[in-house]
Amino acid sequence: MSRHRIAVALLVAQPLATELDGLRRALGAAERERVPPHVTLVSPVNVSDRRLMEALDLVRRAAAASAPLRLELGPAATFAPVTPTVHLAVGGDGLDALLRLRATIVADAPLRRDEPYEYVPHVTIAQELAPPDAIGPAVATLGSWRVKASFDRVHVLRQGTGTGAGTATVWKPFAEATLGPPAVVGRGGVEVALTVGARPDPEAAALLVVDGAAGGDGQPFAVTARVGERVAGAAWGWTSGSVAIVADLVVAEVHRHQGLGRKVLDAVESEAAERGCDVLIVAAPGGGPAAALLAGAGWQAAGESVADGRRLWRRELSARPPA
């Protein structure tokens, strides 16, 4: 049985992440190439294939019971002499909520673990600063450095191998959970919880055709629809300028003919509009259920067939009726 080495963290958003990378670079932090700036919630832990979905469900439930966090990062501090680090302290009005979120996530297996030290939230700038006598000057230089940071989601990172000439491991996000309850539609009928993120989680990705190289420099999005705990439908794609590309949209077979595809499509359109897009494009069959879904939502077939009986469909968001 294969195992995954995962961690749970709050990733620092742009443009602040780039600023922190500049501090890491200035201190010669080698981990800058291996993991993005973050606040760790759960240190690396091994989870089996069988329990991976259980771990992701735990993170998602804890995130839904929380709310977006507003934290203060800084000033600089160190864990020396125990560990020769330079890090930013974490405080602010959201600190108590952060501690409650973390406690909920680690309360149950498979993410419960015995920690050798008391949990202290922080953002590491340099993990193993050498020479050690550089720690004092670095902490002193950043002694007045403070910044407000907002976090609206929790990320699960997975350990992998870098693509460069070396063999260093890297940590990449592969699942996320929005802080706060998901939008629920269909009350009184089939209740569907909709979440929007940057990437499909593993369960949603199993439904979709996902090409990690697609999208180029575009900004990715993923819509996930759950009925109860399980994924019932999903879509993913990317936005670039004023255009949104829908790469794939699928509804699980057991949930078809319940209007769920339209709910996912509506969420895609709303996300595209929020990002300032005017047009959505998807390659989909020219007939059958997919075509009926698109036509019923106001999409129009455009151009010739592209491949495998599919053709381009286009949606002008300016023609989208108000909510």
Residues 105 and 230 in one domain: no
Contact by Cβ (8 Å): 111, 57? no
Strands 243-251 and 230-240: antiparallel
Mean pLDDT, range 169-194, rounded to an integer: 86
User: Which residue among 175, 201, 233 closes a domain?
Assistant: 175
Residues 104 and 250 in one domain: no
Nearest to 230 by CA among 211, 202, 189, 258: 202
Looking up residue 49, the CATH number of its domain turns out to be 3.90.1140.10
User: For residue 125, what are the contacts with CB-CB under 8 A and spacing of at least 6?
Assistant: 20, 23, 24, 27, 29, 76, 85, 86, 87, 88, 138, 142
CA 80, CA 87: separation in Å to the nearest integer? 11
Residues 233 and 88 in one domain: no
- Tokens representing 243? 């255009």
CA–centroid distance for 199 within its chain:
6
Calculate the average pLDDT of the chain: 89
217 vs 105, more confident = 105
Looking up residue 188, the CATH number of its domain turns out to be 3.40.630.30
Range of the domain at 97: 3-175
Residues 29 and 136 in one domain: yes
**Residue 165: what pLDDT?**
47
- pTM (global) more than 0.95: no
Checking if the pLDDT of 122 tops 90, the result is yes
Residues 72 and 120 in one domain: yes
Nearest to 1 by CA among 39, 41, 48: 48
Residues 259 and 279 in one domain: yes
Mean pLDDT, range 144-152, rounded to an integer: 95
Q: What is the pLDDT of residues 226-282, one digit of tens each?
A: 998 899 999 999 999 999 999 999 999 999 888 899 999 999 999 999 999 999 999
Mean pLDDT, range 189-217, rounded to an integer: 82
Residues 167 and 186 in one domain: no
Residues 59 and 160 in one domain: yes
Residues 195 and 292 in one domain: yes
Q: What is the DSSP letter of 94?
A: T
Mean pLDDT, range 100-104, rounded to an integer: 96
In the chain, the percentage of residues whose pLDDT exceeds 90 is: 64
User: Which residue among 146, 175, 204 closes a domain?
Assistant: 175
Q: What is the pLDDT of residues 26-44, one digit of tens each?
A: 988 888 889 999 999 999 9
The helix or strand, by DSSP H or E, that contains position 192, with its residue range, turns out to be strand 192-197
Checking if the pLDDT of 156 tops 90, the result is yes
Residues 164 and 187 in one domain: no
CA 62, CA 100: separation in Å to the nearest integer? 9
Beta partners for 310? Answer: 285, 307
Contact by Cβ (8 Å): 29, 125? yes
Q: Please, which pLDDT band fits residue 212 given cuts at 50, 70 and 90?
A: low
Report the number of distinct structural domains present in the chain. Answer: 2
- Tokens representing 169? 């491991």
Residues 202 and 227 in one domain: yes
User: For residue 275, what are the contacts with CB-CB under 8 A and spacing of at least 6?
Assistant: 219, 221, 239, 244
